Amino acid sequence: MSTSSENSLSLIEEYYEEQIIRCMKCGMCQSICPVYYEDSLETGCARGKLALSEALLHGKLEPNHKIEMIFNKCLLCHACAQVCPVGLSPDKVFAAARAEMVKRYDMPWIKSLIYRKLLGEGKLSSLTGTLSLANRLKLFVLARSLSIPKIFGKSAIRLSFATLPDIPSKPFLDRFPELLEPNSKPIGTVGYFVGCAQNSVFQDVSEASVNILLALGYRVIIPKDQGCCGFPHYGAGDFETLKQKIIQNSSAFKKYKLDAIIISCATGGSGLKEVYPEMTKEDNLKTLGANVYDISEFLALKHLDDLKKMMPTDKKEKIKITYHDACHLNRLQGISSQPRQLLSIMPSYELVEMENSTKCCGEGGGFTFYYQDISSSIANRKKETIKNTGAKVVVLGCPGCRAQISGALKQEGLDIDTKHTVCLLWDEIKKGKDSNF
């Protein structure tokens, strides 16, 4: 290989050189890539980036900041991998390429603040009280009315419209004990992985998840020393912090004897189920000590009949809902039918499928700030398909999608709510006459 040691892309050479070489240049990725759909540039789709990766590997190009931005121009939505005729996973190559760039240039201060301080060191949880107060005083609405988000660009404008649930003054991990016992003899013991967003902002999801597991008869353990899942660091190319998160979370969960680890964040689930094995070359049983399940996957697989018995029996007019397939849930974890199974047993709701429910919403972590116009355009396409259903609620399983879609809907003044599947399910259980709650 002609690449010099100074410019060697060791991560790509070690793990993904074969993927780059096997690319047939067929262009199937163009047909599915949401970024290419918006800008029609070859560098927007997987084929272009793989060709760029090959040129870098063979020393035909030198790494630079322009190339770094091209590799950042990807949502890591995994759509290209689904249609690739030779079974490539280009998104994994691009994540490794980002890591190479971080090794070479480090991270800009704002990314370092977000990924290493707020998420890596767990500082986001310390801001929960401030976020709670700001939400109660409607300071986000005031900031929007003063056009403050315009300073930060289109993404900040859209996200400033996002509807947030009531945020408790303390993070979820501080509010709930490490060990929770059901009212009856436990049928098993599960660990619950909280995740950053659902520890601080979307605590309604964590509460619903834990309460449903308790209602079903599980002993629930919520390790206090767990941290960020590490997937945001994976996407940002900060592999060193990612490795720290793997060690931290593995240590937190492996000290308990668990039947399963449950998570209700699509991105976090992809991290635990896909990225951890990729980075450690070990399965979940060795890395985390138990198999990992998304909450909807676990409930549909093991307790659908039990949940049916908990549903309310009184007949009311059904509320129309629609379901958005988050990329990290549908594509990376293969979970699509399970949330719909849960929605089908809820008597208060009628599911109306949106067109192209699996299309990415355009959030993609840092992508929404790097490429604001593209992100906004993708979000607006998703918004239109939601409007066409006539639904009053968009159901989903990812906090990032929830913020992105909620912002797009509210920016147009649409009275359409966004909810996690388990939040609707817990509301139904509380209504049930046979429930103990």
Domain-ending residue, one of 62, 77, 102: 102
Distance in angstroms (rounded) separating the CA atoms of residues 175 and 253: 19
What's the burial of 60, exposed, middle or buried (CB within 10 Å: 0-12/13-18/19+)?
Answer: exposed
User: In the prediction, which pLDDT does 366 show?
Assistant: 79
Which tokens is 434 given?
A: 């046979």
Biggest alpha carbon–alpha carbon distance for the chain = 72
Cα→Cα distances 342→94, 290, 294, 432, Å: 35, 24, 13, 15
Contact residues for 284 (Cβ-Cβ < 8 A; gap 6+): 261, 272, 273, 276, 277, 290, 291, 292
Domain assignment present for residue 192? The answer is: no
User: In the prediction, which pLDDT does 60 show?
Assistant: 84
Mean pLDDT of 170-191: 96
- For residue 370, the enclosing domain spans 311-431
**Taking the mean position of all CA atoms in its chain, how far away is CA 112?**
20
Paired sense of beta strands 260-263 and 292-294, if any: parallel
- Closest C-alpha to 226, from 259, 188, 265: 265
Domain assignment present for residue 408? The answer is: yes
| pLDDT band of 45, cuts 50, 70, 90 | very high
Domain-ending residue, one of 102, 137, 162: 102
Q: Is the pLDDT of residue 159 over 80?
A: no
Mean pLDDT of 369-375: 88
Which tokens is 183 given?
A: 């009212």
Mean pLDDT of 13-37: 86
CA angle 198, 95, 41 (to 5 degrees): 110
Sign of CA dihedral 285, 290, 296, 299: positive
What 8-state DSSP symbol labels residue 120?
A: I
Q: Which of 180-184, 231-235, 281-285 has the lowest mean pLDDT?
A: 281-285
- The structure tokens 């006539």 sit at 390
Q: Provide the residue type at 255 as one letter.
A: K
**14-25, pLDDT tens digit by residue?**
667 788 888 899
Which tokens is 379 given?
A: 């979000």
Distance in angstroms (rounded) separating the CA atoms of residues 312 and 434: 8
User: In the prediction, which pLDDT does 5 show?
Assistant: 42
**399-412, pLDDT tens digit by residue?**
999 999 999 999 99
pLDDT averaged over every residue in the chain: 89
Backbone angles phi, psi at 46, to 5 degrees: -65, -40
Domain-ending residue, one of 102, 136, 157: 102
Domain assignment present for residue 315? The answer is: yes
Mean pLDDT of 246-275: 96
Q: Provide the residue type at 153 as one letter.
A: G
Domain assignment present for residue 382? The answer is: yes
- Give the gyration radius of the chain's Cα atoms: 22
Domain assignment present for residue 287? The answer is: no
* Percent of the chain at pLDDT exceeding 70: 92
Backbone angles phi, psi at 130, to 5 degrees: -65, -45
Task: Identify the CATH number of the domain in which residue 39 sits.
Answer: 1.10.1060.10
Q: Which of 157-166, 262-271, 272-281 has the lowest mean pLDDT?
A: 157-166
Which residues lie across from 393 on neighbouring strands?
Answer: 321, 417
Q: Is the pLDDT of residue 2 over 50?
A: no
Q: Provide the residue type at 324 as one letter.
A: H
- The structure tokens 């390790």 sit at 223
Higher pLDDT, 101 or 392: 392
Which tokens is 28 given?
A: 């199937």
| pLDDT band of 271, cuts 50, 70, 90 | very high
Domain assignment present for residue 182? The answer is: no
Reported for 78-82, long-range contacts at CB under 8 A and 24+ positions apart, including other chains, are 78/327, 78/331, 78/332, 79/29, 79/32, 79/33, 79/34, 79/327, 79/331, 79/360, 80/28, 80/29, 80/32, 80/33, 80/45, 80/46, 81/331, 82/32, 82/331
Domain assignment present for residue 381? The answer is: yes
Mean pLDDT of 56-72: 84
Domain assignment present for residue 66? The answer is: yes
Tally of CB atoms within 10 A around 318: 12
DSSP string, 163-192: PPPP--SS-HHHHS-SEE--SSS-SEEEEE
- Domain total for the chain? 2
Distance in angstroms (rounded) separating the CA atoms of residues 316 and 408: 30
Distance in angstroms (rounded) separating the CA atoms of residues 65 and 15: 23
User: In the prediction, which pLDDT does 436 show?
Assistant: 42
Mean pLDDT of 310-333: 93
Mean pLDDT of 30-40: 94
User: In the prediction, which pLDDT does 11 show?
Assistant: 61
User: In the prediction, which pLDDT does 368 show?
Assistant: 84
How far apart, in Å, do the first and last CA atoms of the chain sit?
A: 66
Distance in angstroms (rounded) separating the CA atoms of residues 258 and 190: 5
User: In the prediction, which pLDDT does 21 show?
Assistant: 83
Higher pLDDT, 139 or 390: 390
Distance in angstroms (rounded) separating the CA atoms of residues 259 and 288: 12
Task: Identify the CATH number of the domain in which residue 404 sits.
Answer: 3.40.50.10700
Distance in angstroms (rounded) separating the CA atoms of residues 130 and 109: 23
Higher pLDDT, 207 or 435: 207
Higher pLDDT, 298 or 372: 298
**Per the confidence metrics, is the pTM higher than 0.85?**
yes
